[in-house]
Structure 1
Amino acid sequence: MSIGFLAIAACVPILVALVLMVWMHWPAVRAMPMAWTVCAVLAVAVWKMPVGFVLAATLGGFGNTLNILIIIFGAIVLLFSLQESGGMETIKQGIGGLSDDKRVQILLIAFLFSAFLEGAAGFGTPAAIAAPLLISLGFPALAAVMACLILNSFPVTFGVIGAVVWFGMKNLTPLVNSAAAQGIAPASIPDAWAFFGVVGKWGAVLNTLPIFILPLFVICFVTRYFGANRSWKEGLGAWKISLFASACFAAAYLFFAFVMGIEFPSLMGGLIALAMTVFAVRKKWLLPADAWTFGPKEQWEQDWIGSIDMNGGGQSGANMSQMRAWAPYILIGALLMLTRLSSLPFKAWVMGLEIHIPAILGYESVQFSMKPLYLPGIMPFMLTALLIVPMHGISWKKAGVAWSNALKRITGPALALMFAVALVEIFKQSAHNALDYPSMPLAMAKGAAALAGGAWPLFASFVGALGAFITGSNTVSNLLFSEFQYGLAEQMHLPRQIIVALQLVGGSMGNMVCIHNIVAASAVVGLTGAEGAIIKRNSVPLLIYGLCTGLLGMLFCYVLFPGIF
């Protein structure tokens, strides 16, 4: 069967999900089971996978959903615990004291604080924490989720301590080592680890333009679609502080990528830029002349609003110091750092406990694995939620209310996530077929490459985005496609590290539209049925992001650096 036919067939389940959610406005809880059904039928009818194999992949997907649901539940119970204690109200007033301008708050929380969280934790943590913070500051739930998803993109290029690169591209290790042994690779790339470092540098460079464009675009996006005056111009009023925040982040991001390696660009870039931007805001430097806020809540459209009360529960006002209110987040940051650094023993401790089910229904490639203590939903989210009781002095009764409400909140999105992740597992397992066909994602990538021809650098990042859209993970996107991108660059005599870097960056930008990230982030803020609207609107910045990196890729590959490895 031709690669073109396979590519078109593989696209059908995704198109079904998009049509149902974006055009027919179905909620994900209805659309994803339908998309899974189409995917399962294609897997059996076209890829000739045994029905038992498809069932095993589905069960594996259902099991993997548990990992995601634990993270969502932990984030929700943390939020509700802070609401019950009055900590969220205190934080709200503290950030509002820096600036009550919602444009500035987007920069501080959705951009810089989220970048730090991505570098420290990943696993959907940034949106799970940052979106509720924005809601507590008076943001509509839909605006908060969209802003957090869009801006949690370029930090994902490196992810948690560089794992997106060194683990996501591990399939390239024998290829790069072989090229080095044969003298094909330059002396500066003696092995795969050195290649990963070079790819990280190129990824940081390719992200530089989006780092300056996207934050200001998101601000304008919010003022245009959620402001009382529906004005792009009102967003542009924050251009000075936006470019300052971007410059601080880009400088630290590039420094750590080029000098320190792939582990810390996002984490340290977010932390350093956050400190510098907070300092500038305190000094009233570069701020707009007038603070911008959303219009009265009575004028908001109904689909903007989530089911979580943004004024919080428990306490009506700030009843503690800022340090005490922020203590749970400080503890979360410390625990994440301690348990993610390989140089410390704690990472091995928390990863030591593992629940593993091999060969589901007898199929060796389908497995379930959970490391409970390494999931941020349990440690540190749930642990910190319990510690809020003594830290903030609330009763166990109020803590019980928070946990009970969180459990009720998570039941809605569970079904949508189960079928979204099951669909992803079928996509991945379709590589194991009797006809030796490429997997569904690889068929789509090869079809795209055949259409693009010599213009491949312009489109390479969109393959990475496709992988993230399907799987919800830049790491998995790289596992699926980095070997394909490397081989294609070799065949077309294009610089391999630049093409692979485009794959890396593409997986980052795909983070803003992937279905299960959207479902998860929406669940945390109590927003249901808006998945299609989020995908539709977030597709605009994705295209801008992809165009920026694609044009830079063409420039680097054909004009500035055509002869490099």
Structure 2
Amino acid sequence: MLLGALAATLPLIVLLIGIPLLMKPAAKVAPVAWLVTVLTAIFVFHFPAKTTLLAALQGGLTGIFPIMYIPFGALVVYNVLKATGWMDKMQGAMANLTVDRRAQALLIAFGFGAFLEGICGFGAPVAIPASILIGLGYNPMMAALVCLVANTGPVPFGSLAIPTVTLAKTTGLDVMKLSQMTGRFMAPLALIMAFATVYAMSKSKGLKGAIGTILVAGLSFSITEFLVSNYIGADLTSVLAGLACLVAVAIYLKVQKHAQPWLFEGDAPADNAPKEFHFKELFLSWLPYLLLAVLVIAVNLPKTKPLFNGSAAGWNWVLLKAQIYNPGKLYSFTWLQSPGTIMLIAGLIAFPFMGIKYSVMGEQFGKTFKQMIPSFIAVACILSIAEVMNLALPIIDPKTKLAVVGDLATKQISMVATMANGIVALVSKHIYPLLSPLFGTIGVFLTGSNTSANALFGNLQKLTAQGMGLSDILMASAGSAGASAGKMISPQSIVIAATAVGLAGKEGLIMRQTIKYTIPYVILLGLMVWGFAFLFPGLVP
């Protein structure tokens, strides 16, 4: 059993060596790991070559449509706003609401970063806020640290919740239950990380005068994150929570009376005085994202959802589906309901009001595609690896109940199930919940992506939980929540932060600072998982 479990980990070992140790891009390491996965499945686990390759094809297609199509649509709109100057207007408004350095960090790194994570993710929530903070006079190391620490609460629901959607697709678990459980983890953690954001820049001496702003930022985000993830769904959780945080902090900063703003040594209030900005410009700069929120809700209402997911009579044209290797697990893509399509439609509606020509959108469409090619390759390979590693025989036709691949009398468990059995044999049921967040942390450390981490380890969490008699929803969600800790120490995130603030080559120094926040985060989350598992199991969906 242990030899089989070791063989099943070979693709993960390749990722571990290639990305964090050799510091090679995921787009170059993932194809190598993919090849190792396929060869291991065929020659070590003896899966049929044709079935293995078809499973790999389905995983790769899923990685592009719907997975990477979502951030693609978001990045097209973002790049249009950036190219036309509208993003500068939005950033300027965010930067000029206050001169208090702690409030700026909460507004820009915590609130605006969360919104960007919800919309597009993939480095933008660190790079953009960090560059704004540098422009406001922050020390480069401090700007990088603050943005990495702040970018934790929204991560499992980033890029319109694609990590949670991927977790559901990989495990076959209910996406709403995963959203609810993940939200129950992340809401209190996000509040704690609001305090950590200010502590990272000012230590305990700066906390005292900022409690009000921290609570407004943290509670507005956390309460919205909990309510949306538990009662509406995963897609808009980080978007709406980030918006709620921005609005709440902006209002609070306008009405509160600061006798003395907290400034860096050498700062003068006059040097950092807020500049005038126009509400109309601010509203228009946000218009595509406001329309996105409205449209995503509109297509997911009880009466409209069957239309846009293709289940209503006469609406099957919106559902692309195909049987690739498993009649019980069809490839499907609801292209009109996809947040990627909705983001593009929101842009098409908003741009005329903003004076943006459609030709600009066409130009950025092509540039965004080129920009995202490495991400397409990496995520397609990761999802392909996940599909192959979760392949098990026999494959049963749900209609005939007959085996289309393999023998009904002979079961052949998946590579992931083999790994799960190894964990069950070595780890106590009462210890595993404490360790489960580490899979998400390690997954993001390896790949830089919560989406990829969920694809790699989601089913492992599910099968391990089932083998131990624990909640699969709880353990899968714990891994996704643990991914936020991995974001703080992921080489990919740190390289992005270092580049944004002009500290390229100093990534090791940044990691030494962020790991101080990663370790207590993982410990606290592990204790929360243990509590849900054994003290409050009734709170697990």
Secondary structure of residue in 1 paired with 2:28: helix
> Normalised by the size of structure 1, how large is the TM-score?
0.68
Q: Is the 8 A contact 1:338 1:344 kept in 2?
A: no
- 1:74-93 alignment runs, 5 A limit: 74-93=73-92
Question: In the TM superposition, what whole-angstrom CA distance separates every residue of 1:510-538 from its partner, at most 9, and x where no partner exists?
Answer: 26648xx9989999x999x99x9899997
Candidates 486, 509, 530, aligned match of 2:482: 509
Counting only pairs closer than 5 Å after superposition, residues 351-390 of structure 1 correspond to structure 2 as: 351=310, 352=315, 353-360=318-325, 364=327, 367-380=330-343, 382-390=344-352
Q: Write the distance in 1 (CA, Å) between the matches of 2:303 and 2:292.
A: 17
Q: 1:249 to 1:91 in 2, by over 3 A?
A: closer
1:35 to 27, 33, 36: 33
* 1:413–1:520 CA contact under 8 A, matched in 2: no
Q: Which one of the candidate residues 436, 444, 466 is aligned to 1:460? A: 436
- CA-CA distance at 1:336 after TM superposition: 1.8
1:480-519 per-residue CA deviation (whole Å, 9 max, x = no partner) reads 6446424523xxxxxx56x7434423222226648xx998
Aligned residue in 1 for 2:398: none
Alignment partners' CA distance in 2, 1:281 and 1:170: 44
Match for residue 53 of structure 1 among 51, 54, 75: 51
Q: Show the counterpart of 1:188.
A: none
State the SS of the aligned residue for 1:137: helix
Residues 50 and 416 of structure 1: is their aligned pair in 2 closer, same or farther, counting only changes over 3 Å? same
Q: CA deviation at 1:95?
A: 0.7
Question: Alignment partner of 1:370: what SS?
Answer: strand
Q: TM-score, normalised by structure 2?
A: 0.71
What letter corresponds to residue 71 of structure 1 in structure 2? I
Q: What residue is the counterpart of 2:308 in the other structure?
A: 349
The CA RMSD measured in Å over matched residues stands at 5.0
Matched with 1:312 is none
Q: How many residues align?
A: 489
State the one-letter code of the partner of 1:11.
Answer: T
Are 1:92 and 1:137, in contact at CA under 8 Å, matched by a contact in 2?
yes
**For residue 134 of structure 1, what is the aligned residue in structure 2?**
129
**Equivalence map 1:4-403=2 (5 Å):** 4-67=2-65, 68-99=67-98, 104=103, 107-108=106-107, 111-112=110-111, 125-126=120-121, 130=125, 133-134=128-129, 137=132, 146=148, 150-153=152-155, 206-207=185-186, 209-217=188-196, 240=211, 241-251=213-223, 270-284=242-256, 289-291=261-263, 321-339=281-299, 341-345=300-304, 348-349=307-308, 351=310, 352=315, 353-360=318-325, 364=327, 367-380=330-343, 382-403=344-365
Distance 2:305 2:413 in 1: 40
Higher relative contact order (CA 8 A, sep 6+): 1
Superposed CA offset, 1:308-337 (max 9, x none): xxxxxxxxx999621122212211221122
CA distance 1:167–1:75, shift in 2 (3 Å) = closer
Cα distance 1:61–1:518, how it changes in 2: closer, same or farther (>3 A)? Answer: farther
1:87, distance to aligned residue in structure 2 (A): 1.2
Question: For each residue in 1:259-284, what CA deviation from the matched residue of structure 2 results, as whole angstroms up to 9, or x when unmatched?
Answer: x5877976765554443222223335
Instruction: Describe the shift of the 1:145–1:202 C-alpha distance in structure 2 as closer, same or farther (beyond 3 A).
Output: closer
What are the Cα deviations for residues 217-259 of structure 1, in whole angstroms up to 9, with x where unaligned? 45666x5xxxxxxx8679868863334422344445557788x
Among 431, 453, 468, the residue aligned to 1:488: 468
Percentage of matched positions with identical amino acids: 20
Q: Cα distance, 1:22 vs. partner? A: 0.9
* CA distance in structure 1 between the partners assigned to 2:264 and 2:208 by the alignment: 9
Q: 1:276 to 1:423 in 2, by over 3 A?
A: same
Q: What amino acid sits opposite 1:378 in the alignment?
A: T
Matching residue's letter, 2:345: L
AA of the residue aligned to 2:153? L
Query: Per-residue deviation at 1:82?
Result: 0.9
Q: 1:350 to 1:503 in 2, by over 3 A?
A: closer
Q: Is the CA contact (8 Å cut-off) linking 1:429 and 1:439 kept in structure 2? A: yes
**Contact 1:359 1:365 (C-alpha < 8 Å) held by counterparts:** no
> Quick one: distance in 2 between partners of 1:461 and 1:564?
18
What code does the residue aligned with 1:407 have? F
Unpaired segments ≥5 residues, structure 2:
135-139, 268-276, 396-405
**Any idea what SS the aligned residue of 1:343 has?**
coil
Distance (Å, rounded) in 1 between the aligned partners of 2:364 and 2:259: 37
More displaced stretch, 209-218 vs 475-484: 475-484
Matched-pair contact (CA < 8 Å) for 1:33–1:416: yes
Whether the 8 Å CA contact 1:165–1:200 is kept in 2: the answer is no
